[in-house]
Amino acid sequence: MPTSNQPAAGASHPDVELERTVRAGTEQLLSRVGAAFAAQQGWANQLRAAAYELRDFLREDEARARAMMIEAPRGNEETRRIREQGIAALTVLIDLGRAELDDVDSVPRSAAEIAAGVIYNRIHVEVERGAELDDEMVRELMYTAVLPYQGIEAALAELKRPSPPPTQPQATSQASSAPSTGARPR
C-alpha cells in the first residue's frame, strides 16, 4: 500500500503525475476548507465559508482543478481513492447540518451524500466546460446543501445572499500549502 507521499506501485508516468497532483491538491484543499469552516459559527455559515474556499481554490489553478475534478475519476486506483476521500469530507461537512435539527434522525445521512454528489457533479460540469466558478454557482450549491436541513425558506435565502468581500488569492499549487485563515466572513 502506498504511503501518503508515494504513488501506487506499477503506475505509469502520467498516472503518477496525476496521483501526485490530486493528492497534493486534496491535502491543500481539505486544510483550507477545514480552516474556513472552523473560523465561522453556525453550520450554514461554516458551510458557506467552506464553499467559497473551495471555489477560490479551484479558480486559482485551472490545471489543478481539471486534474482534481475531471481527470481523477479516470486515474489509477489510488487517485480515485483520494478523490473519494475529498467527496467523503464534503459529505461529512454537509451532514453536520443534522446536528442543528431538533431530531437528528429526521434527515437521513443519505441527504448529505446526495447533496455532495450533486455539488461535485455541478462543479465537475463547470470545470469541464471551462466556465467561471462564480458567486452565483456557490449560492446555488448552498441552496442544495441547506434545503434538507433548514427548509425551503433558508435555501431560497441562500440564492439572495450578497457576495462576500474579495480576499487575497491563495498561492498556486507550486507554493506553500499553508492553510487559509478562513477569516473572511461569508
pLDDT per residue over 85-101, tens digit each? Answer: 999 999 999 999 999 99
Rounded Cα distance, 117 and 123, in Å:
10
Contact 55, 32 (CB under 8 A): no
Q: How many residues does the chain have?
A: 186
The per-residue b/e assignment along 74-108, b for 16 or more CB within 10 angstroms, e otherwise, is ebbebbebbbeebeebbbebbbebbeeeeeeeeee
For residue 60, what pLDDT is reported? Answer: 96
What are the cell numbers at 136? 452565483
Predicted confidence (pLDDT) per residue in 82-139, tens digit: 999 999 999 999 999 999 999 999 999 999 999 999 999 999 999 999 999 999 999 9
| Global pTM value | 0.82
State yes or no: pLDDT of 81 exceeds 80.
yes
State yes or no: pLDDT of 179 exceeds 50.
no
